[in-house]
Structure 1
Amino acid sequence: MTYLAEPHDGAYAAVLADSLRDVAADLRTIDPVDLVSFIRFGSFPAIEDLIQSSAELFFKHGTLISAWTACVDLAWDSLPLVTLGLEFRHPLVSVFFDLLLGARGDEVAVRAVLFEEPVADRAGALDRLARALAEAQLPRRAAGRSAALGLVPGVRPGLLGQ
C-alpha cells in the first residue's frame, strides 16, 4: 500500500535539495544552449542521458531518474530557468519533483512523496526520506565529471597518442 505525504511542505524539498547539490552542480556543467535545444525539440532521450550521467556520479544506479518532463523559461525580461522533472526511487519512498536550474541558484519543487509503509508523523517521514537518500548515495569521492573521468585539475585533456 502507498501512503502520500504532503508534498508542499518545504521540509521535503530542503532534505532533497541538500542531497542533490552535487547532481545540480554537475548538470550546470552542460552548455545551456544544448540543454535548451534538447528541451525545445523534445529530445527527451538526450535529456535522460544527461541526467543519468550526472546522477550516476553520486547515486546508485536507478535511484535518481528522469521523469521525462522538462521546460525552459526564456522570457526577455528575466534570466533563463530550466526545469527538469526527476524521480527518486527507493524501496522505502519515492519522490516526484522538479529540479529548477537558474542563474540565481537551484531549487527543488516536490510534486509527490510516496511511502510504501505508513509513517507515524512528519518527523518520521522526513527521517525516512533522509535515510533513503543517504542509502542511495554513493560513497563520497572527488566530485564532478572530471573526477569520474580521471582528469587532474589544472591539466588539459588531450587526444590519446599525442
Structure 2
Amino acid sequence: MASKASFTPEEWARIVASPMVAGMAITAAEPSGLWGLLKESMSSGWALLEVQKDPNANPLVKAVASDIADPATRDAVRTSFQDRFKGSQFSEVKEKAIDELRAVAAILDAKAPEDAPAFKAWLRHVAQEAAEAGKEGGFLGFGGVAVSDAEKATLDEIANALDSSSRLAGIAET
C-alpha cells in the first residue's frame, strides 16, 4: 500500500489537492451563483471528512484526508494550486483542472498502482458530489436541475482524464 512516503513532496501536494481540483472542475463547468458556488466548493471538504470516518476507505485516500490537517501539507497544496492556476482566466480553469487530474492519475498509476483504481474512483465520487451539491438553473433555489448538462459532460471528461493514463499504459504494454 502506498503512503505519503511513496511520493515526492510535490507529487504528494498534487495528490492531496486533487479532491479540490475535481470539485473546482465541476464549479468551473457551470457556475451556479454564490450559494451554488459555496455548496460545490464545500463538497470537497465534506468528502475528506467522510473518508476519515469510513473504516473501509482506501488507505491512500485516508492518508490524504488525514494529512490535509498538517499545516505544512496545506502550505504545499496552496503552492501547488498557485503554480497550476495562478493567472488563469475563469474560462481556462476547467481545462487546467482536468489536465491536473490527468497528471495526478499518471502519478498514481506510476507510484501507487495497487491504490490507483480506488483513489480514482473516490475522485470521481468527489466530482459527482460537487455536481449534485448545488442546483443549476431555476430561481432562488426553485426549479433547476441537480446536475446540468455541462456538469454531466465535465464528469465524463474527469472520468476520461482519470482513466487515460491506465489506457495509455495498457497500450504501451501491447
Specify the TM-score bucket, using the shorter chain as the normaliser.
0.3 to 0.5
* TM-score (norm: length of structure 1): 0.34
- Higher-strand-fraction structure: 1
Higher helix share: 2
Please report the TM-score for the alignment, with normalisation by the length of structure 2.
0.33
Higher relative contact order at CA 8 Å, sep ≥6: structure 1 or structure 2?
2
Larger Rg: 1
